[in-house]
């Protein structure tokens, strides 16, 4: 049974949700608790809630207290607690999302927004908690996401199952040595990762600092443990469960990590999807082009709200 403990904060309201297996999940909320609709943001691999910082700033200008926003860190990421590496799976993250919803948004409609691995978590959530789709979940945004096949195109082709297994074994057996080697790897590969995330435009220094900080703060155990789940990820059959639910599928045209072709496939399988291609943006589209992404999310929330009003009007 999840629990929540809250403390006030000038920059939103902080809370700790205790997941079903006891792992503390760090949560931040903005807006009135009585708001008629809640938007929940689910971040990607090796990131944390600050990856939404630019987008949050845009949406706070756009929305008033009628819309509540919830941000949280996955287990092993940001300010959330660490857990046994065996629990570092996308299915477990979907279960953690359910715990967050039960604790901080137990009633009323929600719109779910996921970026990268976060988008994958939303698809796993739809499979594990199908009764919530179209009932509590009034809309879904899949940003720089995929339903599977991430090793077939883009940088995911570099992921080798044997190499991933060897890395995971080494991290578990010698975490201190591997953490030291991670510092060297970050120095060598950090610029490459930033360029791959940033697309064709010059990297904004603040974008680069957030990306670098997230990479540096994430433990190598967390980085490595989730790779198996990403390699095996396949939720193609889950897309049908979303039916005509209002959906946003958005990605950058220059995304090297999860190429735009994945978004085309997603949108083609979702009857209620709007497909948005952000020209020149990379995998970190939520940082690079926050204003454009915010506009698309606001439009999705409007569509979800209209659907809810139409449903209640028919019911009445």
pLDDT digits (tens, 9 = 90+) for 70-85: 999 999 999 999 999 8
* Length reported for the chain: 316
Closest C-alpha among 8, 28, 4 to residue 17: 4
Q: What is the pLDDT of residue 278?
A: 97
Q: Positive or negative, the Cα torsion across 287, 261, 300, 16? A: negative
Q: What is the pLDDT of residue 160?
A: 64
Q: Which of 43-57, 86-100, 191-205, 289-303 has the lowest mean pLDDT?
A: 191-205
Q: What is the pLDDT of residue 226?
A: 86
Q: Which of 38-42, 91-95, 185-189 has the lowest mean pLDDT?
A: 185-189
CA dihedral 279, 282, 288, 290 (to 10 degrees): 70
Please give the average per-residue pLDDT across 137-160, as a whole number. 84
| Both structure tokens of 286 | 């939520």
What residue ranges do the domains of the chain occupy? 3-315
* CA–CA distance, 211 with 284 (Å, rounded to integer): 9
More confident residue, 159 or 248: 248
Residues 6+ positions from 269 with CB-CB distance below 8 Å? 147, 236, 239, 240
Residues 6+ positions from 131 with CB-CB distance below 8 Å? none
Residue 177, pLDDT above cutoff 50: no
Name the class of domain 3-315.
alpha beta
How high is the mean pLDDT of the chain?
83
Closest C-alpha among 79, 77, 92, 81 to residue 45: 77
Consecutive H or E run containing 315? helix 290-315
* CA–CA distance, 6 with 20 (Å, rounded to integer): 18
Residue 15, pLDDT above cutoff 70: yes
Q: Which of 95-109, 162-176, 244-258, 292-306 has the lowest mean pLDDT?
A: 162-176
Residue 188, pLDDT above cutoff 70: no
Residue 185, pLDDT above cutoff 50: no
Residue 314, pLDDT above cutoff 50: no
Q: Using a pLDDT cut of 90, give the percent of the chain over it.
A: 59
Q: Which of 31-45, 109-123, 170-184 has the lowest mean pLDDT?
A: 170-184
Is the distance from CB of 48 to CB of 73 less than 8 angstroms? yes
């Amino acid at each position: 049974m999840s629990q929540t403990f809250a403390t006030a904060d000038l920059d939103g309201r902080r809370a700790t949700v205790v997941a079903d297996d006891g792992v503390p999940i760090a949560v931040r909320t903005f807006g009135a608790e009585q708001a008629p609709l809640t938007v929940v943001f689910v971040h990607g691999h090796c990131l944390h809630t600050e990856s939404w910082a630019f987008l949050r700033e845009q949406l706070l200008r756009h929305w008033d207290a009628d819309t509540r926003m919830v941000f949280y860190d996955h287990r092993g990421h940001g300010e959330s607690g660490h857990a046994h590496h065996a629990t570092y799976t996308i299915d477990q993250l979907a279960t953690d999302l359910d715990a967050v919803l039960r604790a901080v948004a137990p009633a009323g409609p929600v719109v779910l927004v996921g970026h990268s691995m976060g988008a994958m978590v939303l698809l796993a959530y739809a499979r594990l908690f199908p009764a919530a789709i179209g009932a509590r979940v009034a809309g879904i945004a899949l940003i720089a996401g995929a339903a599977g096949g991430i090793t077939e195109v883009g940088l995911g082709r570099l992921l080798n199952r044997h190499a991933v297994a060897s890395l995971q074994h080494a991290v578990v057996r010698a975490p201190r040595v591997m953490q030291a080697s991670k510092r060297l790897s970050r120095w060598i590969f950090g610029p490459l990762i930033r360029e791959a995330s940033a697309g064709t435009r010059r990297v904004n220094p603040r974008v680069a600092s957030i990306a670098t900080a997230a990479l540096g703060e994430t433990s190598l155990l967390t980085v490595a443990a989730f790779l198996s789940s990403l390699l095996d990820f396949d939720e193609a059959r889950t897309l049908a469960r979303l039916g005509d639910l209002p959906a946003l599928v958005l990605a950058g045209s220059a995304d090297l990590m999860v190429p735009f072709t994945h978004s085309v496939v997603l949108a083609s399988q979702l009857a209620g999807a709007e497909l948005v291609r952000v020209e020149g943006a990379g995998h970190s589209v939520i940082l690079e082009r926050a204003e454009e992404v915010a506009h698309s999310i606001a439009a999705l929330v409007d569509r979800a709200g209209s659907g809810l009003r139409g449903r209640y009007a028919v019911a009445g």
